[in-house]
Amino acid sequence: MTETTDDLSTPLGQKTERQKRRFRLPFTAMQALAVLLGLFLVAFLTIALFTDNPFGGEPVARIALRQAADEKLPGAASGHTEKAAKSGQQAPAGDNKTVTIIDGSSGKRQDVVIGSDAGDKTDAEPAPAMAMTGIDQRLLEKSRYGLIPVVADGLKPFTVYAADADRTKAAKMPVVAIVVGGLGVGAAKTADAIMKLPPAVTLAFTPYGADPAKLAERARAQRHEILLQVPMEPFDYPDNDPGPQTLLTTLTPEQNIDRLYWHLSRFQGYAGIANFMGARFTATDAVMQPIIREAAKRGLGYLDDGSSPRSAAPAVTAAQSMPFAKADFTIDAVPTSAEIDRTLVKLETLAKERGLAVGVASALPISIERLAAWIKTLDGRGIMLVPLTTAMLKSKSG
């Protein structure tokens, strides 16, 4: 009763001394807690003040990237290139990475698997492209990125890698050249273009994809001549991004040529290069001149895809006496059977009027289907399908 009486007689809001003692921590426990808290604060301040952490506590994801066993530090590029070229090996699959290319007009995203060397790390040395069969080794020289084309012994890649054609016959009748581009990304559509279209159709490969050299070699084995598409800056860059190592109007000529070398090294055996996007870049004479001059020096032709009416390519290539063609129509600008067929009629009409017409298309299934059907009718219409190099030479002689 004493305890109950004490509780009842205690003023409201107050506790007895006995109750206070019941919930009081021992003095030694309070000291220990204070010491632990102090140590935690000291450790936190030490990390914050003396640790170089550029992420400032933000969440960080770490990705392990495998490095090729024989990869050397920057500055030893030539030795690594020579070793890889002799072995004919490519970078391991673990060195690949995925980038997303975003079309600024449609918002469409496309994931592309490329080698880990495709970023803007200009000091990083990528593994060179696999040595392809049927490649004239005299027409290759080492760069820090791998093997790139060169003129040697009076031979040019444009001449050596041009597809066979009856040029005497082509000089006497209307001709049409068809270039199917965007290949190398997507093995299935690339294989369809290679196998379903006749050898006289020229195939253009982007530098992206896990193994563009293998697909380019397959195209050459089927007697297609091939081109390398070089990504160039469009007007809405970077919303519309062609991909890693894009040539940009904001870079110096030396920087753009270095990026060009990266693209040139991705595979071999092409007769020329073509722009991939690039409406802003191709319209800027000051940045186009060094690129065209470099490509002409290396014995290549140039295809302008015709997407930019302001392109400086015709004048710049003429100044270098470089083989050149400009596409007259994008065959599948509207990718429906009716519109593709209508554009093909325009293409053959132009060929009859002018003696020469060039069309470009992508490797859409509908495009390949309509092209294959249309090509079978050309002989009966008095028009000859020729590789792009033949069209370039006819245009130059005309």
Domains defined along the chain, listed by start: 137-397 (3.20.20.370)
Residue 199: what pLDDT? Answer: 97
Q: What is the pLDDT of residue 138?
A: 96
Give the Cα separation of 49 and 107 in Å (integer).
43
Instruction: Please tell me the distance from the alpha carbon of residue 364 to that of residue 50, in angstroms, as a whole number.
Output: 57
pLDDT in tens, 236-283: 999 999 999 999 999 999 999 999 999 999 999 999 999 999 999 999
SS3 368: helix
pLDDT score for 125: 40
User: Which pLDDT does position 76 carry in this prediction?
Assistant: 34
For residue 47, CA distances in Å to 27, 189, 334 come to: 31, 53, 59
- Residue 328 zone, left/alpha/beta (φ > 0; ψ -120 to 50; rest): alpha
Calculate what percentage of the chain has a pLDDT beyond 90.
Answer: 64
pLDDT of residue 350: 98
Contacts of 384 (CB under 8 A, 6+ apart): 169, 170, 173, 174, 175, 176, 378
pLDDT tier for residue 91 given thresholds of 50, 70 and 90: very low
Confidence (pLDDT) at 351: 97
Tens digit of each residue's pLDDT (9 = 90 or more) over 220-233: 999 999 999 999 99
Residues 171 and 150: their CA atoms lie apart, in Å, by 29
Residue 219 has pLDDT above 50, yes or no: yes
pLDDT in tens, 325-380: 999 999 999 999 999 999 999 999 999 999 999 999 999 999 999 999 999 999 99
Q: What is the mean pLDDT of residues 380-387?
A: 97
The larger pLDDT score, comparing residue 398 to residue 86, is at 398
Cβ(104)–Cβ(277) below 8 Å: no
Gap between the Cα atoms of 330 and 98, Å rounded: 29
Least confident of 80-94, 135-149, 293-307: 80-94
Both tokens assigned to 396: 């130059």
3-state SS class at 92 = coil
What per-residue confidence (pLDDT) applies to 259? 98
Find tokens 């302001």 and name the residue: 310
Among 8-12, 72-76, 327-331, the minimum mean pLDDT is found in 72-76
Residue 266 CB-half CA count within 13 A: 31
Cα 264 from Cα 232, distance rounded (Å): 14
Q: Give the model's pLDDT for residue 41.
A: 67
Q: Closest Cα to residue 177, out of 307, 351, 319, 11?
A: 351
Cα→Cα distances 300→63, 99, 270, Å: 40, 29, 8
71-80 burial, b for 16+ CB within 10 Å, e for fewer? Answer: beeeeebeeb
Distance of CA 205 to the CA centre of its chain: 10
Q: What pLDDT score does 39 carry?
A: 73
Cβ proximity of 359 and 328 under 8 Å: yes
- pLDDT score, position 396: 76
pLDDT of residue 209: 85
Q: For residue 177, what pLDDT is reported?
A: 98
pLDDT of residue 294: 98
Greater model confidence, 175 or 100: 175
Calculate the CA dihedral of residues 242, 246, 247, 248 and round it to 10 degrees.
Answer: 80
The structure tokens listed for 53 are 């952490």
Average pLDDT value over all residues in the chain:
80
pLDDT tens per residue across span 107-134: 555 565 554 444 444 343 444 444 567 8
Q: Is the pLDDT of residue 147 over 70?
A: yes
Residue 191 has a CB neighbour count (10 Å cut-off) of 15
Contacts (Cβ under 8 Å, ≥6 apart) of 156: 139, 299, 300
CB atoms within 10 A of CB 341: 13
Candidates 4, 150, 145, 126; CA nearest to 70 is: 126
Which pLDDT does position 54 carry in this prediction? 42
Q: At residue 95, does pLDDT exceed 70?
A: no
* CB environment 138-169: b (16+ within 10 A), e (fewer): ebbebbbbbbbbbbeeeebbbbbbbbebeeee
